[in-house]
Amino acid sequence: MLKNTRNLLAIMARLRHPETGCAWDVKQDFTSLMPYVIEEAYEVADAIERNDPDDLRSELGDLLLQVVFHSRIAEELGLFDFEEVSGAICEKLIHRHPQVFSDTVFNSDEERHRAWEQAKALERQRKNKTVEQDSVLAGVAGNLPALMECEKIQDRAANYGFDWSEVLPVFDKVREEMEEVREAWESGDQAHIKEEIGDLLLVVVNLARHLKVNPEIALKESTKKFSRRFQYVERQARASDRDLRDCDLAELDAFWNAAKKALMKR
């Protein structure tokens, strides 16, 4: 085992020692640590988006700490240890890459992707015990961000033929759902409006899939673009010695159009 890995495991064991360890670390369990796992994963993603390798190295370490922390708790409970975690992912990677670790040959990316999904399906079948879990949708984490969960579920369904074969009908479906949102709005039924907005978002995710766009990343980038432009609008308002609330909509719209031109390349 690598020296730093041994040190990390030893440090965690010491932190978790019931008598001489850190009181905070000792009282943690799987549930209490769950928010930190999610937070650290997002901080890794943020470092990647900012193209900051030094911060990425640091954030990957923080994420690794969560893996070691959970593994240590599991070891104390007699469930598994870090070595078993490493062994499980090694086995999974070998099983999912027969083109690398055996003589299997894939003739296209589509063929490789189908084999990947079939391997994952077999893994789920080994784990699942109930009829509900036998669903091809079983195993998609329910606490994923909504766009990511939606995309993964649609991908699963598409792998079993439940999908449009081309993109044009998806455009039609987006227009159909837009009209249904409008009809729900005209009805004044808030619950129905929420339902139709959800349906619209779902089919937009489907459109993103067909166009080979990651909807989570696309929305995040558009949100950042909106923020940059809105901050430009704020600066323009301050330059005229006014608060945003003192500007009428026409002025704000003019500031916004100026922002689009000024920040076009950003």
The CATH number of the domain holding residue 161 is: 1.10.287.1080
Is 206 among the domain residues? yes
Q: What is the phi-psi region of residue 130: left when phi exceeds 0, alpha when psi lies from -120 to 50, beta otherwise?
A: beta
**pLDDT tens-digit readout, 129-172:** 544 556 778 777 777 888 989 998 998 888 888 899 899 999 99
Tokens for 89, please give them. 């992912």
In this structure, how many other beta carbons lie within 10 angstroms of the beta carbon of residue 69?
19
pLDDT tens for 199-250 read: 999 999 999 999 999 998 899 889 999 999 999 888 888 888 888 888 888 8
Do 172 and 254 belong together in one domain?
A: no
Residue 43 lies in a domain: yes
Whether residue 226 is found in the same domain as residue 208 = no
User: What secondary structure letter does DSSP report for 167?
Assistant: S
Q: Which residues contact 152 (CB under 8 A, 6 or more apart)?
A: 140, 144
Where helices occur in 77-214 by DSSP H, the ranges are 82-96, 98-101, 109-127, 146-158, 168-187, 190-210
Q: Are residues 56 and 68 in the same domain?
A: yes
- Asked, for residue 107, whether it belongs to a domain, the answer is no
Q: What is the pLDDT of residue 251?
A: 86
The answer to whether position 106 is within a domain reads no
Residue 121 pLDDT level (bands cut at 50, 70, 90)? confident
pLDDT score for 131: 42
Domain that holds residue 44: 3-96
pTM of the model: 0.65
The verdict on residue 52 lying in a domain is yes
182 with 225, same domain: the answer is no
Structural domain count of the chain: 3
CB 104 within 8 A of CB 98: yes
Q: Is 239 exposed, middle or buried (0-12, 13-18, 19+ CB in 10 A)?
A: exposed
CA–CA distance, 8 with 61 (Å, rounded to integer):
10
* Separation of alpha carbons 234 and 227, rounded Å: 10
- On whether both 15 and 65 belong to a single domain, the answer is yes
